[in-house]
Amino acid sequence: MRHGKKFNHLGKKSGHRKAMLANMGSSLIKHKRINTTLAKAKALRVYLEPLVTKSKNDTGHNRRVVFSYLRDKDAVTELFREISTKVADRPGGYLRIIKLGNRLGDNAEMALIEFVDYNDVYNADKPAKKKTRRRRKKAAAPATEASEATATEEKSEE
pLDDT at 133 over 90: no
In the chain, what are the domains? 14-126 (3.90.1030.10)
More confident residue, 127 or 114: 114
More confident residue, 148 or 119: 119
Q: How much is the mean pLDDT over the chain?
A: 87
Q: Which of 50, 37, 53 is nearest to 113 (CA)?
A: 37
Each residue's pLDDT tens digit, 35-80: 999 999 999 999 999 999 999 999 999 999 999 999 999 999 999 9
Collapse the DSSP code of 98 into the 3-class scheme (helix H, G, I; strand E, B; otherwise coil) and give the result: strand
Q: Does residue 105 come out as left (phi exceeding 0), alpha (psi in the -120 to 50 range) or beta? A: alpha
pLDDT band at 120 (very low <50, low <70, confident <90, very high): confident
DSSP 45-88: HHHHHHHHHHHTS--HHHHHHHHHHH--HHHHHHIIIIIHHHTT
Read off the pLDDT of each residue in 129-157 and give the average, rounded to a whole number.
59
Half-sphere exposure of 2 (CA within 13 A, CB side): 5
Q: What percent of the chain has pLDDT over 70?
A: 77
CA 69: distance to chain centroid?
Answer: 19
Q: Residue length, the chain?
A: 158
pLDDT band at 16 (very low <50, low <70, confident <90, very high): very high
